[in-house]
């Protein structure tokens, strides 16, 4: 469903990604792993439209989406979360999810300013849907709190709820377990499986190997901007090139 | 909370209606009309600055364009003033929309510079295009607004007219900020990338709100022109753009009520500082410094603090449930 074809990205003299190609299958959880500086986050930023690539192509459901801006990608059904959760700190938890429902609502400036009846109905629908989503990730009781006051782990759940609000076909998660304790990480794994079972294809960049090996159906390994290997968790664990990259060539 | 707000609103409305009867026309009433006009302008800027987080140092230009378009269309070309007002707002909104696309690509200081540049260009055009605008000596003889046989020719009548318009704008702005559009604007303010990743077309929305802000300024400009019946370029210079910015910041960024407080303070303050004669500017400056240091949330934050304190001490019930 998502095909990355010979993506190259050059920053000045640094080749961050060098002709990386792989395909992600629908309904699977795919992990993108690799040592620090391998180009994982760069890859995510390119796929989600935040950085522009130097060359190469990205196909989403067969359509060329390379170079589209992030908001257009989101409307096509490709959403992402950030390593350092990007919440709207001035707003409540509920409002954060309501922003996620922006593309699921349509009233324009005039309808909103004049409080037209269909705007009120829409607002009600957005609110109850947002509560449902908070309930889904298990933080409904925090709805009225300020998003800035959330502990990191809950903030992560909020960011996931907000991304789910878009009803994405594919969700890219950048190091979702970063900053979580082991219990929270385990719960996150369960949540990621639940999200896949909703029919959402999940791609995660992750350093927590236990989580990756536990939840992923497929794994892509990057090293120094190049694809080193891809396969099932078992194949990757037994791959000598991957072991060498992680432990050093010695 | 809702009921208290309603009581407060009723009280405010009563004060607004009664004020002109108390002051019996005269100079103070004239100042209160300007509180209304400036409130409208501050709300326009606040939508942009306080909600979307985009600065504009060219608001006076939109205000001036509204005033001059109304003046020229009605006086030189004999248009109906109400039609001219609508036309001016649409034209200014369209202009803002067109220039907004390249300008709002910029951020921070660069955006401030670009809008400043726009303000200066408009000022120069008004000043130099003497055949059309009368140049530096101004544009006299603008007709008053009228409905049927009622002509808005006194301070008192204009007071009511302009305050009805101001409250209307205020209501629309509050509705807007409490809707999906308002949430999207605040999202852009907090993190533009995160907003975009959620499917919000940040660029388009910023330009749209810039145009709305310009239309509100234009409307205020038209009302001003028909009230004073004379316009001159000096009213619409850079200085006034900065004054509007001060009103919005002092009142409270991101609060529509705050914009009213800020506009009221900055408009009324010079009147109170008259007593200090030549030193008034020092007090003015000192007050602004103290305000920004100790009340960064603006007057609305100070008001909320006092309100909660009074509720807790006098009302006897907790403020946390509000």
Q: Does B232 touch chain A (CB under 8 A)?
A: no
* Whether residue B27 has pLDDT greater than 80: yes
Number of domains in chain B: 1
Residue B259, domain extent: 2-315
**DSSP-assigned letter for residue A92:** B
Q: Report the range of poorest mean pLDDT among A44-53, A211-220, B97-106, B273-282.
A: B273-282
**Given pLDDT bands bounded at 50, 70 and 90, which one contains residue A48?**
very high
Q: How confident is the model at residue A197 (pLDDT cuts 50, 70, 90)?
A: very high
The overall longest dimension of chain A from CA atoms, in Å, is: 70
Instruction: Say what the alpha-carbon torsion angle A64, A66, A67, A68 is, to the nearest 10 degrees.
Output: 50
B300 Cβ contact partners less than 8 Å away, ≥ 6 residues apart: B251, B252, B255, B257, B258, B261
Taking the Cβ of residue B120 and every Cβ of chain A, the question of whether any pair is shorter than 8 Å is answered with no
- CATH superfamily placement of domain A2-87+167-247: P-loop containing nucleotide triphosphate hydrolases (3.40.50.300)
- Considering Cα of A202, then A208, then A214, then A219, what sign does the dihedral take? positive
Tell me: the pLDDT tens digits for B257-272? 999 999 999 999 888 8
- ipTM for this prediction: 0.92
Name the β-bridge partners of A170. Answer: A78, A201
Confidence of residue B321 (pLDDT cuts 50, 70, 90): very low
All residues at 6 or more sequence positions from A219 whose CB lies less than 8 Å from its CB, including other chains: A30, A31, A32, A33, A212, A229, A230, A231, A232, A233, A236
Residues 141-200 of B with CB under 8 A from A: 172-173, 175-176, 179-184, 186-187, 189-191, 193-200
Place B15 in a pLDDT band, splitting at 50, 70 and 90.
Answer: confident
Bridge partners of A226, per DSSP, are: A223
Give percent above pLDDT 70 in chain B.
97
Chain A and chain B share a number of CB contacts under 8 A equal to 99
Whether residues B212 and A109 touch (CB distance < 8 A) is answered with yes
DSSP-derived 3-state class of residue A7: strand
Q: What is the mean pLDDT of residues B220-248?
A: 95
Q: Alpha-carbon distance A152 to A173, whole Å?
A: 15
- Residues of chain A neighbouring B201 (CB-CB closer than 8 A): 71
Residue B252, in any domain of the structure: yes
Out of A71, A95, A108, closest to residue B183 by CB: A95
Residue B1 pLDDT exceeds 60: no
DSSP reduced 3-state for A116: coil
Q: Note the pLDDT of residue B24.
A: 72
- With CB atoms and an 8 Å threshold, state whether B180 touches A107: yes
In a domain, B321, yes or no: no
CB nearest to A86's CB, from B180, B183, B193: B193
pLDDT in tens, B29-73: 999 999 999 999 999 999 999 999 999 999 999 999 999 999 999
The per-residue pLDDT of chain B, averaged, comes to 91
Q: Can you give chain B as a three-state secondary structure string?
A: CHHHHHHHHHHHHHHHHHHHHHHCCHHHHHHHHHHHHHHHHHHHHHHHHHHCCCCCCCHHHHHHHHHHHHHHHHHHCCCCHHHHHHHHHHHHHHHHHHHHHHHCCCCHHHHHHHHHHHHHHHHHHHHHCHHHHCHHHCECCCCCCEECCEECCCHHHHHHHHHHHHHHHHHHHHHHHCCHHHHHHHHHHHCHHHHHHCCCCHHHHHHHHHHHHHHHHHHHHHHHHHHHCCECHHHHCHHHHHHHHHHHHHHCCCCHHHHHHHHHHHHHHHHHHHHHHHHHHHHHHHHHHHHHHHCCCCHHHHHHHHHHHHHHHHHCCCCCCC
Find the CB nearest A109 among B181, B198, B202.
B181
Separation CA A37–CA A245 (nearest Å):
12
Residues of A with CB below 8 A from B181's CB?
Answer: 107-109, 112
- Distance (Å, whole) CA B69 – CA B142: 11
Phi/psi at B218 (5° precision): -60, -45
- Percent of chain A scoring above 90 in pLDDT: 84
The DSSP output letter for A155 is: H
User: 3-class DSSP state for residue A227?
Assistant: strand
Q: What is the 3-state secondary structure (H, E, C) of A26-71?
A: CCCEEEEECCCCCCHHHHHHHHCCCCCCCEEEEEECCEECCCCCHH
Give the pLDDT mean for A220-245: 90
Nearest CA in chain B to A171: B197
Q: Model confidence at B166, in pLDDT bands (50, 70, 90)?
A: very high
Cα dihedral A42/A45/A50/A55 (nearest 10): 60
Residue B251 lies in a domain: yes
Q: How far is A240 from chain B (nearest CA, A)?
A: 37
- Residue B25, pLDDT score: 64
CB contact under 8 A, A112 and B176: yes
- Tell me how far CA of residue B214 lies from CA of A174, A235, B44, B110, B218, in angstroms: 40, 61, 7, 19, 6
| pLDDT tens readout for residues A215-227 | 999 999 999 899 9
Contact between chains at B196 and A162 (C-beta distance less than 8 A): no
Chain B: residue nearest A86 by CA?
A: B194
pLDDT band at A244; cut points 50, 70, 90: confident
Looking at the predicted structure, is the pLDDT value of residue A55 above 60?
yes
Contact A72, B200 (CB under 8 A): no
A164 close contact with B: CB closer than 8 A? no
Q: What is the pLDDT of residue A102?
A: 95
Residue A249 pLDDT > 90, yes or no? Answer: no
Q: What is the pLDDT of residues A134-174, one digit of tens each?
A: 999 999 999 999 999 999 999 999 999 999 999 999 999 99
Identify all chain B residues contacting A171, using CB atoms and an 8 Å cutoff.
none
Contacting residues for B6 by C-beta, under 8 A, at least 6 apart = none
Mean pLDDT score, B209-217 = 98
Rounded Cα distance, A185 and B192, in Å = 28
A contacts of B202 (beta carbons < 8 Å): 71
Instruction: Say if B215 is an interface residue toward chain A (CB within 8 Å).
Output: no
> Quick one: pLDDT at residue A250?
47
Beta bridge partners of B113: none
CB B184 within 8 A of CB A88: no
The fraction of chain A above a pLDDT of 70, given in percent, is 99
CA distances (Å), B169 to each of A47, B41, B113, B124, B244, in order? Answer: 42, 10, 28, 29, 16
Average pLDDT, chain A: 93
Closest chain A residue by Cα to residue B172: A113
Domain ranges of chain A: 2-87+167-247, 88-149
Tell whether A123 lies on the interface with B, counting CB pairs under 8 A.
Answer: yes
Domain for residue B87, yes or no? yes
Burial class (CB in 10 A: 0-12, 13-18, 19+), B240: buried
Q: State pTM to two decimals.
A: 0.92
Q: Which residue is it, tokens 């629309």?
A: B172
Helical (H) or strand (E) element with A99 = helix A93-100
- For residue B320, tell me if it sits in a domain: no
pLDDT at residue B315, as a whole number:
67
Tokens in use for A27?
Answer: 């309904």
Eight-class DSSP state of A141: G
Q: What is the CATH number of the domain that holds B11?
A: 1.10.3470
Q: How confident is the model at residue A58 (pLDDT cuts 50, 70, 90)?
A: very high
Beta bridge partners of residue A30, listed in sequence order: A203, A218
């Amino acid at each position: 469903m998502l095909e990355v074809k010979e993506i190259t990205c050059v920053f000045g003299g640094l080749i961050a990604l060098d002709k990386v190609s792989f395909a992600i299958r629908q309904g699977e959880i795919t992990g993108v792993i690799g040592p620090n500086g391998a180009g994982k986050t760069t890859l995510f930023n390119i796929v989600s439209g935040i950085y522009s690539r130097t060359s190469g192509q990205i196909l989403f459901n067969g359509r060329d989406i390379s170079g589209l801006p992030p908001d257009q990608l989101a409307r096509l059904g490709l959403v992402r979360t950030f390593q350092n959760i990007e919440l709207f700190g001035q707003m409540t938890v509920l409002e954060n999810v309501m922003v996620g429902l922006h593309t699921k609502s349509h009233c324009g400036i005039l309808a909103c300013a004049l409080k037209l009846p269909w705007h009120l109905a829409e607002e009600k629908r957005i609110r109850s849907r947002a509560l449902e989503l908070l309930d889904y990730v298990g933080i409904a009781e925090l709805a009225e709190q300020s998003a800035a006051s959330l502990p990191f782990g809950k903030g992560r759940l909020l960011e996931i709820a907000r991304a789910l609000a878009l009803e994405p076909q594919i969700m890219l998660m950048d190091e979702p377990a970063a900053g979580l304790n082991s219990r929270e990480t385990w719960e996150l794994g369960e949540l990621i499986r639940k999200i896949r079972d909703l029919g959402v294809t999940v791609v995660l960049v992750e350093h927590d190997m236990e989580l990756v090996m536990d939840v992923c159906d497929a794994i892509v390994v990057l090293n120094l901007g190049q694809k080193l290997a891809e396969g099932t968790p078992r194949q990757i664990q037994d791959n000598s090139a991957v072991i060498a990259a992680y432990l050093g060539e010695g | 909370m809702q009921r208290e707000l309603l009581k407060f609103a009723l009280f405010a409305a009563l004060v607004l209606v009664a004020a002109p009867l108390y002051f019996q026309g005269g100079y103070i009433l004239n100042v209160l009309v300007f509180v209304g006009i400036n409130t409208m302008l501050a709300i326009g800027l606040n939508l942009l600055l306080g909600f979307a987080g985009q600065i504009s140092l060219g608001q006076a230009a939109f205000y001036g364009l509204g005033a001059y378009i109304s003046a020229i269309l009605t006086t030189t070309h004999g248009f109906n003033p109400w039609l001219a007002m609508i036309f001016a707002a649409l034209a200014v909104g369209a202009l803002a929309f067109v220039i907004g696309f390249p300008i709002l690509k910029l951020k921070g200081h660069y955006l401030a510079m670009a809008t400043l540049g726009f303000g200066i260009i408009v000022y120069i055009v008004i000043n130099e295009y003497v055949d059309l605008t009368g140049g530096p000596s101004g544009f006299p003889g603008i007709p008053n607004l009228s409905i049927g046989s009622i002509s808005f020719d006194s301070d008192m009548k204009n007071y009511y007219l302009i305050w009805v318009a101001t409250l209307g704008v205020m209501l629309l702005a509050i509705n807007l900020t409490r809707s999906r559009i308002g949430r999207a604007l605040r999202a852009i303010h907090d993190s533009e990338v995160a907003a975009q990743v959620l499917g919000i077309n940040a660029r388009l929305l910023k330009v749209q709100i810039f145009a709305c802000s310009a239309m509100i300024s234009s409307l205020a400009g038209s009302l001003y022109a028909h009230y004073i019946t004379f316009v001159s370029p000096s009213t619409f210079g850079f200085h006034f753009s900065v004054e509007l910015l001060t009103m919005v910041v002092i009142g409270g960024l991101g609060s529509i009520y705050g914009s009213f407080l800020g506009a009221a303070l900055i408009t009324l303050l010079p009147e109170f500082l008259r007593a200090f004669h030549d030193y008034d500017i020092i007090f003015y400056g000192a007050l602004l410094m103290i305000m920004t240091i100790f009340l960064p949330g603006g007057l609305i934050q100070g008001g909320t603090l006092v309100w909660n304190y009074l509720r807790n001490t006098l009302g006897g019930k907790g403020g946390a449930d509000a």
